[in-house]
Amino acid sequence: MNMRLPLIDRFWPSVVYRLTGRIPWDRLPGADFGPDGRFRIVSVIGSGGSGRVFRAVDSHDNTTIALKMVRGDARRGTLNQNRVCREANIFGRLSHENIAVARSMGWDVVLGRILVIYTESEFIPGYDLEQLLRSSRGSLDLSLVARIALQVCCALEYVHAEGVIHRDLKPTNIMIRVDPNDGSQVVKIIDFGIARHLEQHSGLTRPGEWVGSPGYSAPEQLRGESIDERADVFSFGAVLYELITGRHAFDGSSAREINRAVRASRMRPIRDVRAGVPPQVEQLVEKMLDPDREKRPSLEEVRSCLQTSLLRP
Protein backbone atom coordinates (compact mmCIF):
# COMPACT_ATOMS: atom_id res chain seq x y z
CA MET A 1 0.00 0.00 0.00
CA ASN A 2 1.54 3.30 -1.09
CA MET A 3 0.64 6.04 1.41
CA ARG A 4 1.17 9.34 -0.41
CA LEU A 5 0.47 11.37 2.72
CA PRO A 6 2.36 13.70 5.10
CA LEU A 7 4.93 11.96 7.29
CA ILE A 8 2.81 11.87 10.46
CA ASP A 9 -0.18 10.48 8.52
CA ARG A 10 1.97 7.74 7.02
CA PHE A 11 3.22 6.52 10.42
CA TRP A 12 0.21 7.26 12.65
CA PRO A 13 -1.96 4.36 11.30
CA SER A 14 0.81 1.90 12.18
CA VAL A 15 1.08 3.35 15.69
CA VAL A 16 -2.70 3.07 16.19
CA TYR A 17 -2.69 -0.53 14.99
CA ARG A 18 0.19 -1.51 17.27
CA LEU A 19 -1.48 0.08 20.30
CA THR A 20 -5.08 -1.03 19.74
CA GLY A 21 -5.03 -3.86 17.21
CA ARG A 22 -7.52 -1.89 15.10
CA ILE A 23 -7.05 -0.59 11.59
CA PRO A 24 -7.57 3.20 11.55
CA TRP A 25 -9.83 3.09 8.50
CA ASP A 26 -10.59 6.81 8.69
CA ARG A 27 -6.95 7.53 7.88
CA LEU A 28 -7.08 5.74 4.53
CA PRO A 29 -8.86 8.36 2.35
CA GLY A 30 -6.21 10.02 0.20
CA ALA A 31 -4.05 6.90 0.09
CA ASP A 32 -3.28 4.62 -2.84
CA PHE A 33 -4.10 0.95 -2.34
CA GLY A 34 -3.87 -2.36 -4.17
CA PRO A 35 -1.46 -3.67 -6.80
CA ASP A 36 0.88 -0.87 -7.88
CA GLY A 37 -1.26 1.65 -5.98
CA ARG A 38 -4.06 1.09 -8.46
CA PHE A 39 -6.88 2.47 -6.30
CA ARG A 40 -6.96 6.03 -4.95
CA ILE A 41 -9.22 6.02 -1.87
CA VAL A 42 -11.53 9.04 -1.77
CA SER A 43 -13.94 8.68 1.16
CA VAL A 44 -15.75 6.24 3.45
CA ILE A 45 -19.27 5.40 2.23
CA GLY A 46 -20.12 2.45 4.48
CA SER A 47 -18.93 0.52 7.49
CA GLY A 48 -19.27 -2.85 9.15
CA GLY A 49 -17.82 -4.76 12.05
CA SER A 50 -14.73 -5.99 10.22
CA GLY A 51 -14.15 -3.42 7.50
CA ARG A 52 -15.22 -0.44 5.48
CA VAL A 53 -16.53 0.45 2.04
CA PHE A 54 -14.77 3.33 0.32
CA ARG A 55 -15.48 5.45 -2.68
CA ALA A 56 -12.34 5.17 -4.79
CA VAL A 57 -10.97 5.73 -8.27
CA ASP A 58 -9.50 2.93 -10.37
CA SER A 59 -6.46 4.45 -12.08
CA HIS A 60 -6.64 1.87 -14.89
CA ASP A 61 -9.66 3.55 -16.43
CA ASN A 62 -10.30 6.53 -14.11
CA THR A 63 -13.64 5.03 -13.04
CA THR A 64 -15.30 5.78 -9.71
CA ILE A 65 -15.78 2.50 -7.85
CA ALA A 66 -16.86 1.07 -4.50
CA LEU A 67 -13.97 -0.61 -2.72
CA LYS A 68 -14.85 -2.93 0.16
CA MET A 69 -11.90 -3.64 2.43
CA VAL A 70 -11.98 -6.26 5.19
CA ARG A 71 -9.21 -7.15 7.56
CA GLY A 72 -7.99 -10.68 7.00
CA ASP A 73 -6.31 -13.02 9.44
CA ALA A 74 -2.68 -13.70 8.59
CA ARG A 75 -2.84 -16.90 10.62
CA ARG A 76 -5.53 -18.13 8.24
CA GLY A 77 -4.05 -16.50 5.16
CA THR A 78 -4.69 -19.44 2.86
CA LEU A 79 -8.31 -19.55 3.98
CA ASN A 80 -8.70 -15.84 3.36
CA GLN A 81 -7.19 -16.12 -0.09
CA ASN A 82 -9.44 -19.08 -0.88
CA ARG A 83 -12.45 -16.98 0.14
CA VAL A 84 -11.40 -14.24 -2.25
CA CYS A 85 -10.90 -16.70 -5.11
CA ARG A 86 -14.27 -18.27 -4.36
CA GLU A 87 -16.03 -14.91 -4.25
CA ALA A 88 -14.33 -13.87 -7.50
CA ASN A 89 -15.60 -17.04 -9.17
CA ILE A 90 -19.13 -16.36 -7.90
CA PHE A 91 -19.11 -12.71 -8.91
CA GLY A 92 -17.51 -13.37 -12.26
CA ARG A 93 -20.48 -15.25 -13.64
CA LEU A 94 -23.31 -13.17 -12.17
CA SER A 95 -24.83 -10.62 -14.52
CA HIS A 96 -28.23 -9.13 -13.76
CA GLU A 97 -29.67 -5.62 -13.77
CA ASN A 98 -30.55 -5.90 -10.07
CA ILE A 99 -27.08 -7.03 -8.93
CA ALA A 100 -24.07 -4.76 -8.45
CA VAL A 101 -21.37 -5.48 -11.02
CA ALA A 102 -18.09 -6.76 -9.55
CA ARG A 103 -14.88 -5.68 -11.27
CA SER A 104 -12.02 -7.35 -9.38
CA MET A 105 -10.99 -8.88 -6.07
CA GLY A 106 -7.76 -9.54 -4.27
CA TRP A 107 -5.70 -8.94 -1.15
CA ASP A 108 -2.90 -6.69 -0.05
CA VAL A 109 -0.73 -6.22 3.01
CA VAL A 110 -0.93 -2.79 4.63
CA LEU A 111 1.21 -1.26 7.37
CA GLY A 112 3.69 -4.04 6.70
CA ARG A 113 1.69 -6.70 8.53
CA ILE A 114 -2.09 -6.46 8.10
CA LEU A 115 -3.72 -8.66 5.49
CA VAL A 116 -6.60 -6.76 3.87
CA ILE A 117 -9.03 -8.37 1.44
CA TYR A 118 -10.75 -6.11 -1.07
CA THR A 119 -13.63 -6.25 -3.51
CA GLU A 120 -13.89 -3.71 -6.30
CA SER A 121 -17.41 -3.20 -7.63
CA GLU A 122 -19.45 -0.59 -9.43
CA PHE A 123 -20.14 2.59 -7.50
CA ILE A 124 -23.89 2.96 -7.05
CA PRO A 125 -25.13 6.55 -6.75
CA GLY A 126 -28.15 6.45 -4.50
CA TYR A 127 -29.08 5.08 -1.08
CA ASP A 128 -29.73 1.80 0.69
CA LEU A 129 -33.01 0.59 2.16
CA GLU A 130 -31.95 1.43 5.69
CA GLN A 131 -31.47 5.05 4.64
CA LEU A 132 -34.81 4.97 2.83
CA LEU A 133 -36.60 3.69 5.92
CA ARG A 134 -34.91 6.26 8.12
CA SER A 135 -35.84 9.16 5.85
CA SER A 136 -39.44 8.00 5.46
CA ARG A 137 -39.81 7.15 9.17
CA GLY A 138 -41.23 3.79 8.21
CA SER A 139 -44.19 5.09 6.27
CA LEU A 140 -43.47 3.59 2.85
CA ASP A 141 -46.35 3.34 0.42
CA LEU A 142 -47.24 -0.31 -0.11
CA SER A 143 -46.99 0.02 -3.89
CA LEU A 144 -43.40 1.26 -3.46
CA VAL A 145 -42.70 -1.68 -1.15
CA ALA A 146 -43.98 -4.00 -3.87
CA ARG A 147 -41.84 -2.41 -6.60
CA ILE A 148 -38.71 -2.72 -4.48
CA ALA A 149 -39.49 -6.23 -3.30
CA LEU A 150 -40.27 -7.51 -6.79
CA GLN A 151 -36.85 -6.39 -8.04
CA VAL A 152 -35.17 -8.07 -5.06
CA CYS A 153 -37.20 -11.17 -5.86
CA CYS A 154 -36.03 -11.17 -9.49
CA ALA A 155 -32.41 -10.83 -8.41
CA LEU A 156 -32.69 -13.69 -5.92
CA GLU A 157 -34.44 -15.93 -8.43
CA TYR A 158 -31.55 -15.29 -10.81
CA VAL A 159 -28.73 -15.99 -8.33
CA HIS A 160 -30.46 -19.09 -7.02
CA ALA A 161 -30.85 -20.38 -10.58
CA GLU A 162 -27.08 -19.86 -10.86
CA GLY A 163 -26.63 -22.00 -7.76
CA VAL A 164 -25.66 -19.14 -5.46
CA ILE A 165 -27.07 -18.08 -2.08
CA HIS A 166 -26.37 -14.58 -0.76
CA ARG A 167 -26.46 -15.44 2.99
CA ASP A 168 -26.47 -11.81 4.17
CA LEU A 169 -29.52 -10.10 2.70
CA LYS A 170 -30.47 -7.03 4.76
CA PRO A 171 -31.50 -3.40 4.16
CA THR A 172 -27.92 -2.11 3.98
CA ASN A 173 -27.12 -4.67 1.27
CA ILE A 174 -29.99 -3.55 -0.95
CA MET A 175 -29.50 -0.23 -2.72
CA ILE A 176 -31.61 2.03 -4.87
CA ARG A 177 -29.51 3.28 -7.77
CA VAL A 178 -30.61 6.73 -8.89
CA ASP A 179 -29.57 7.57 -12.45
CA PRO A 180 -27.84 10.98 -12.34
CA ASN A 181 -29.19 11.85 -15.79
CA ASP A 182 -32.89 11.01 -15.77
CA GLY A 183 -33.53 10.19 -12.10
CA SER A 184 -34.74 6.65 -12.84
CA GLN A 185 -34.35 4.17 -10.00
CA VAL A 186 -33.23 0.54 -9.99
CA VAL A 187 -32.80 -1.84 -7.05
CA LYS A 188 -29.32 -3.38 -6.70
CA ILE A 189 -28.30 -6.18 -4.34
CA ILE A 190 -24.73 -5.66 -3.17
CA ASP A 191 -22.08 -7.39 -1.06
CA PHE A 192 -21.81 -11.06 -1.94
CA GLY A 193 -18.89 -11.25 0.53
CA ILE A 194 -20.20 -14.38 2.28
CA ALA A 195 -22.16 -15.81 -0.66
CA ARG A 196 -21.77 -19.51 -1.32
CA HIS A 197 -22.46 -21.90 -4.14
CA LEU A 198 -25.25 -24.33 -3.28
CA GLU A 199 -23.07 -27.31 -4.16
CA GLN A 200 -19.96 -25.99 -2.44
CA HIS A 201 -18.73 -27.81 0.67
CA SER A 202 -15.15 -26.59 0.72
CA GLY A 203 -14.73 -26.07 4.46
CA LEU A 204 -14.36 -22.31 4.08
CA THR A 205 -16.88 -21.95 6.88
CA ARG A 206 -15.91 -24.08 9.85
CA PRO A 207 -18.50 -26.52 11.35
CA GLY A 208 -20.90 -24.67 13.65
CA GLU A 209 -19.63 -21.27 12.50
CA TRP A 210 -22.37 -18.69 11.95
CA VAL A 211 -22.09 -16.04 9.26
CA GLY A 212 -24.76 -13.47 8.59
CA SER A 213 -26.51 -10.63 10.44
CA PRO A 214 -28.67 -10.76 13.60
CA GLY A 215 -32.36 -10.43 12.85
CA TYR A 216 -31.99 -11.41 9.20
CA SER A 217 -30.25 -14.80 9.33
CA ALA A 218 -32.46 -17.90 9.25
CA PRO A 219 -32.57 -20.19 12.32
CA GLU A 220 -30.69 -22.95 10.50
CA GLN A 221 -28.02 -20.40 9.60
CA LEU A 222 -27.68 -19.39 13.25
CA ARG A 223 -27.19 -23.03 14.18
CA GLY A 224 -24.31 -23.31 11.72
CA GLU A 225 -26.15 -25.94 9.68
CA SER A 226 -25.93 -26.46 5.95
CA ILE A 227 -28.23 -23.98 4.25
CA ASP A 228 -29.89 -23.53 0.88
CA GLU A 229 -31.83 -20.84 -0.96
CA ARG A 230 -34.59 -20.93 1.66
CA ALA A 231 -32.24 -19.08 4.04
CA ASP A 232 -32.32 -16.16 1.60
CA VAL A 233 -36.13 -16.36 1.57
CA PHE A 234 -36.11 -15.96 5.36
CA SER A 235 -33.79 -12.93 5.15
CA PHE A 236 -35.97 -11.47 2.40
CA GLY A 237 -39.00 -11.94 4.67
CA ALA A 238 -37.27 -9.98 7.45
CA VAL A 239 -36.49 -7.17 5.00
CA LEU A 240 -40.06 -7.19 3.68
CA TYR A 241 -41.47 -7.04 7.22
CA GLU A 242 -39.30 -3.98 7.87
CA LEU A 243 -40.31 -2.27 4.63
CA ILE A 244 -43.99 -2.74 5.46
CA THR A 245 -43.93 -1.83 9.16
CA GLY A 246 -40.85 0.37 9.56
CA ARG A 247 -39.77 -1.92 12.43
CA HIS A 248 -37.39 -4.83 12.77
CA ALA A 249 -39.12 -8.18 12.67
CA PHE A 250 -37.08 -9.40 15.66
CA ASP A 251 -36.09 -7.13 18.53
CA GLY A 252 -33.52 -7.44 21.27
CA SER A 253 -30.89 -5.44 23.15
CA SER A 254 -28.08 -7.67 21.88
CA ALA A 255 -27.29 -10.00 19.01
CA ARG A 256 -27.89 -12.95 21.34
CA GLU A 257 -31.37 -11.73 22.30
CA ILE A 258 -32.26 -11.01 18.67
CA ASN A 259 -31.15 -14.49 17.64
CA ARG A 260 -33.26 -16.00 20.41
CA ALA A 261 -36.27 -14.12 19.06
CA VAL A 262 -35.52 -15.50 15.58
CA ARG A 263 -35.35 -19.08 16.85
CA ALA A 264 -38.59 -18.66 18.80
CA SER A 265 -40.27 -16.81 15.91
CA ARG A 266 -41.10 -14.08 18.41
CA MET A 267 -42.38 -11.07 16.45
CA ARG A 268 -45.38 -8.78 16.46
CA PRO A 269 -48.04 -9.51 13.83
CA ILE A 270 -47.94 -6.98 11.01
CA ARG A 271 -51.59 -6.02 11.65
CA ASP A 272 -50.61 -4.88 15.17
CA VAL A 273 -47.99 -2.55 13.75
CA ARG A 274 -49.61 -1.23 10.57
CA ALA A 275 -53.24 -1.25 9.55
CA GLY A 276 -54.44 -1.74 6.01
CA VAL A 277 -51.96 -4.41 4.93
CA PRO A 278 -53.72 -7.10 2.86
CA PRO A 279 -54.04 -10.27 4.99
CA GLN A 280 -52.54 -12.41 2.23
CA VAL A 281 -49.38 -10.27 2.36
CA GLU A 282 -49.17 -10.64 6.14
CA GLN A 283 -49.58 -14.39 5.77
CA LEU A 284 -46.89 -14.42 3.09
CA VAL A 285 -44.35 -12.65 5.30
CA GLU A 286 -45.17 -14.94 8.23
CA LYS A 287 -44.52 -17.98 6.03
CA MET A 288 -41.25 -16.48 4.75
CA LEU A 289 -40.17 -16.10 8.40
CA ASP A 290 -41.24 -19.59 9.45
CA PRO A 291 -38.46 -21.25 11.50
CA ASP A 292 -39.18 -24.47 9.59
CA ARG A 293 -37.67 -23.92 6.16
CA GLU A 294 -39.88 -26.62 4.69
CA LYS A 295 -42.86 -24.31 5.24
CA ARG A 296 -41.39 -21.23 3.56
CA PRO A 297 -42.80 -20.21 0.16
CA SER A 298 -40.84 -20.26 -3.06
CA LEU A 299 -39.73 -16.99 -4.62
CA GLU A 300 -42.24 -17.61 -7.38
CA GLU A 301 -45.01 -17.66 -4.77
CA VAL A 302 -43.62 -14.50 -3.18
CA ARG A 303 -43.55 -12.70 -6.51
CA SER A 304 -47.08 -13.78 -7.42
CA CYS A 305 -48.53 -12.65 -4.09
CA LEU A 306 -46.82 -9.24 -4.23
CA GLN A 307 -48.00 -8.64 -7.78
CA THR A 308 -51.63 -9.51 -7.08
CA SER A 309 -51.92 -8.00 -3.60
CA LEU A 310 -49.89 -4.79 -3.55
CA LEU A 311 -49.56 -3.49 -7.07
CA ARG A 312 -52.53 -1.35 -7.93
CA PRO A 313 -53.75 -1.40 -11.55
The CATH number of the domain holding residue 199 is 1.10.510.10
- The answer, yes or no, to whether residue 75 has pLDDT greater than 80, is no
- Listed in sequence order, the residues at least 6 apart from 151 whose beta carbon sits closer than 8 Å to its beta carbon are 98, 186, 187
For residue 189, is it within any domain?
yes
Boundary residue ending a domain (101, 122, 143) = 122
Confidence of residue 8 (pLDDT cuts 50, 70, 90): very low
- Dihedral (CA of 289, 308, 162, 79) sign: negative
Q: Are residues 276 and 136 in the same domain?
A: yes
- Listed in sequence order, the residues at least 6 apart from 97 whose beta carbon sits closer than 8 Å to its beta carbon are 186
pLDDT by residue (tens digit) across 190-233?
887 665 655 444 444 444 455 678 899 999 999 988 889 999 99
Q: How many helices (H) and strands (E) does the chain have?
A: 10, 11
Catalytic residues: 168
- Dihedral (CA of 149, 155, 158, 159) sign: negative
- Listed in sequence order, the residues at least 6 apart from 41 whose beta carbon sits closer than 8 Å to its beta carbon are 28, 29, 30, 31, 32, 33, 54, 55, 56, 67
Q: Are residues 87 and 185 in the same domain?
A: no
Note the pTM of the prediction, 2 decimals. 0.81
Q: Are residues 168 and 92 in the same domain?
A: no
Residue of 112, 113, 122 whose CA lies nearest to 75: 113
- The answer, yes or no, to whether residue 177 has pLDDT greater than 90, is yes
For residue 3, is it within any domain?
no
For residue 10, is it within any domain?
no
Q: Are residues 205 and 74 in the same domain?
A: no
pLDDT by residue (tens digit) across 235-265?
999 999 999 999 999 999 998 999 999 998 8
295-298 long-range contacts, CB within 8 A, separation 24+? 296/230, 296/233, 296/234, 296/237, 297/233, 298/233
pLDDT by residue (tens digit) across 185-195?
999 998 876 65
Q: Are residues 96 and 62 in the same domain?
A: yes
Q: How many domains does the chain have?
A: 2
The confidence score (pLDDT) of residue 87 equals 60
Percent of the chain with pLDDT over 70: 76
For 47-75, what is the mean pLDDT?
Answer: 79
Q: Are residues 292 and 178 in the same domain?
A: yes
Q: Are residues 49 and 161 in the same domain?
A: no
Coil, strand or helix at 305: helix
Q: Which domain holds residue 97?
A: 18-122
Q: Are residues 115 and 130 in the same domain?
A: no
Q: Are residues 117 and 176 in the same domain?
A: no
Boundary residue ending a domain (122, 138, 154) = 122
Cross-strand pairs, 122: 65
One-letter identity of residue 265: S
The confidence score (pLDDT) of residue 11 equals 45
The side-by-side arrangement of strands in the sheet containing 39-47 is: 32-33, 39-47, 51-58, 63-71, 114-122, 102-110
Confidence of residue 73 (pLDDT cuts 50, 70, 90): low
Boundary residue ending a domain (99, 122, 145) = 122
The confidence score (pLDDT) of residue 219 equals 94
Cα–Cα distance for residue pair 18/43, rounded to 1 Å: 24
Q: Are residues 83 and 141 in the same domain?
A: no
Q: Are residues 58 and 136 in the same domain?
A: no
The confidence score (pLDDT) of residue 272 equals 95
For residue 282, is it within any domain?
yes
